[in-house]
Amino acid sequence: MNAHVPPPQVMQRSHGEASVAMQHRAGRTRLADLRQQGSAKAFLPRVDGAVPEVVFLNTSGGLTGGDRLRFALTLSAGCRAVATTQTAERAYRAGQGSALVEVAHSVGAGGWLDWLPQETILYQGAALDRRTVIDLAPGAGCLLLESVVLGRAAMGETVTGLAFRDTRIVRRDGRLALLDPLAFGDDALAAAGGTAILGGARAFATLAMVGPAVQDALGPARAALGEPGVEGSASAFDGKLVLRLLAADGWPLRRQVARVLAALRGQALPRVWQN
């Protein structure tokens, strides 16, 4: 008699896509289209404001191997908008494969986008592959942020193994303006206690501006550095401004990011950041 062998357990995976389109009419930026499905949602707390906010949300509560998530925002000519996420994104231990996240934004001629997602927290054993692409029409610009925290220092967690790939691409009038890839895994974290790539830090961030005359923002950006416990530097060239930040924990990094964003934007952070 043959013994019954139960079929392999298939874990449920999360899939979601949210896309928003906005257009400039009668002196205002207004919602033109909204589509959302699965675990991805988008809401607009200030649609009719001078600079509306678009907030993306992953309702699955986090990412693990095999999950798929896509956020997209399209701004027509002349539109200005701020896009962010409702909370920090968490990437948990991945049993099989990687979680895939795609961010695809486009900005019409003369428009501007601030893409300011909150932190991504990577847990032990996480596997995340994220790709962010922003397409700029002539005369358009953007400010983009990515912040990453390795585990939770307050809980005594130390991340020694994961697989993380994070690529940022900005195209200006169809031509590559910024290519910023990052990839590391177990070997890089283990080398010299992790100092090979992060200098012992467990939180890091990249801010970049691409657009007309962004070199003028280099002075204010550098002046905003200096948060205790955070190491940072900034450079500007060829219509691009890039800042790199390292910190021992996520809270000082968040404070430093807030200071730099205030200097670059001259306005308050998105409301969901202030909760």
Q: Do the domain assignments include residue 190? A: yes
Total tally of structural domains belonging to the chain = 1
Tell me, yes or no, whether 13 lies in a domain.
no
Asked, for residue 67, whether it belongs to a domain, the answer is no
Structural tokens at position 100 = 């895939």
Q: Which two tokens stand for residue 237?
A: 């060239």
pLDDT of residue 193: 52
Boundaries of domain holding 164: 85-268
Q: Per the domain annotation, does 232 fall within a domain?
A: yes
pTM of the full predicted structure?
A: 0.91
Q: For residue 11, is it within any domain?
A: no
The answer to whether position 96 is within a domain reads yes
**Residue 275 one-letter amino acid:** N
Please enumerate in sequence order all residues whose Cβ is within 8 A of that of 156, keeping only pairs 6 or more positions apart, or say none: none
Question: What does the DSSP 8-state code read for residue 260?
Answer: H
Q: What are 40's strand-pairing partners?
A: 58
Alpha carbons 20 and 9: distance in angstroms, whole number: 36
Is residue 46 one of the residues assigned to a domain?
no
Q: What is residue 192's predicted lDDT score, i.e. its pLDDT?
A: 42
Strands 203-210 and 175-184: unpaired
Query: What pLDDT sits at residue 271?
Result: 86
pLDDT beneath 70: ranges in the chain:
1-12, 46-49, 153-156, 188, 190-197, 275
Q: Torsion-angle region of residue 196: left (phi > 0), alpha (psi -120 to 50) or beta? A: alpha
How many other C-beta atoms are found inside a 10 Å radius of the C-beta of residue 219? 12
